[in-house]
Amino acid sequence: MKNIPFAILCIVLAACCAILPSCNKPAETTAKKITIGFSQIGSESDWSAANSLSVKGAAEKRGIDLRFADGQQKQENQIKALRSFIDQKVDLIAFSPVVETGWQTVLEEIKKAGIPVILTDRGVDVTDSSLYVTFIGSDFTEEGRRAAKWFVENTKGDLKVFELRGTPGASCAVDRKTGFEAVIADHPRIKILKSQDGNFERGKGKEVMEAFLKTPEGKDFNALYAHNDDMALGAIQAMKEAGLKPGKDIKIVSVDAVKAAFEAMVDGELNCTVECNPQLGPQLFDIVEAVLAAKTLPADATKHKLLKPAILEALGGGAFEKRVMVHEVVYDQSVAKELIGTRKY
């Protein structure tokens, strides 16, 4: 090598590059950008705003082309967005379904188009679980159980609970109710006096509480279980305007653990918030990258015994964990002051 004149070495290298076309192109132009369609439920709560930021931020960090569609809490908008992602030939579709049912047809269309699907945050009710690769999200039933346990462990005497439910048909509304009821079933001193929908919105939570306070039952309750912080905060406002002392006259537990809930706990107006972590972006895109890496294996890899399962997994039929859980905890007034400065959303 030492004896080969420099000019000859250059000629040999140039000839190699002429044969291998990728040699002439800068690396960035050869790597195809990953395109992901993401259908978000809407922006009904502080939780949703934090979730959207997390997804957008994680995509940007990884240089992913994210097509983000806000469904404005309507299933028909989300279905439209999913179909448009098929037309756009995205590499993968991720979405948070506003309600559990009614997805089978569009998921079959996506499968036919060969596009893998990842569910985030909320689940779907479909007969064929191969219609999606995996579901990353919280255990909503456990959140309901945790809310009830706080009442069991931190109150005495008869508790007449007003329940503010989330969006009708949403998996988190269904499961948070189920988990809560399962725990109070063993504690007859705790009863749900009345249960109403508040759609996960602060304004609706206030409106529903205002109306409830005018009914005879509204004079006879001493606890509120709200399926999210936003509805609890709206209801707290209504209680204060009606001359009640939320957090004292009425014990209140809600779900999410957004910063505004910590502020309400520091002010003594909310008793407890059960965490539902919205920061799913990094975890989502780790899985997106794993799924796409498996999917882009060369076609003849299917002949290889070891690689075949990876391809099947990518298409939703294999061994990707069907359910990816999120770590969460419970916060109450005893830790609110100490932790409020650490809350990011």
Residues 6+ apart with CB under 8 A from 21: none
Of 234, 266, 211, 247, nearest in space to 46 by CA: 234
Q: Which is nearer to ligand AHR, 231 or 238 (CB)?
A: 231
Sheet of 65-70: strand order equals: 65-70, 35-40, 92-95, 117-120, 134-136, 323-324
The SS3 assignment for 134 reads: strand
Q: How far is the CB of 140 from ligand AHR (least distance, A)?
A: 8
Q: Position 124: which residue type?
A: V
Q: How far is the CB of 61 from ligand AHR (least distance, A)?
A: 23
Q: How many CA atoms lie within 13 A of 61 on its CB side?
A: 12
Q: How far is the CB of 310 from ligand AHR (least distance, A)?
A: 30
Footprint on this chain of ligand AHR (rule: CB under 6 A): 44-45, 47-48, 121-122, 172, 200, 228, 230, 255-256, 276
Q: How, if at all, do strands 223-226 and 251-256 pair?
A: parallel
Q: Which is nearer to ligand AHR, 43 or 130 (CB)?
A: 43
- Cα distance between residue 345 and residue 339, in whole Å: 13
Residues 6+ apart with CB under 8 A from 97: 41, 75, 78, 103, 119, 122, 123, 124, 171
The single residue listed with the structure tokens 């259908």 is 39
Q: Which is nearer to ligand AHR, 47 or 180 (CB)?
A: 47
Q: Which is nearer to ligand AHR, 91 or 256 (CB)?
A: 256
Q: Which is nearer to ligand AHR, 170 or 184 (CB)?
A: 170
Q: How far is the CB of 90 from ligand AHR (least distance, A)?
A: 23
Q: Which is nearer to ligand AHR, 45 or 271 (CB)?
A: 45
Q: How far is the CB of 257 from ligand AHR (least distance, A)?
A: 10
Q: How far is the CB of 265 from ligand AHR (least distance, A)?
A: 17
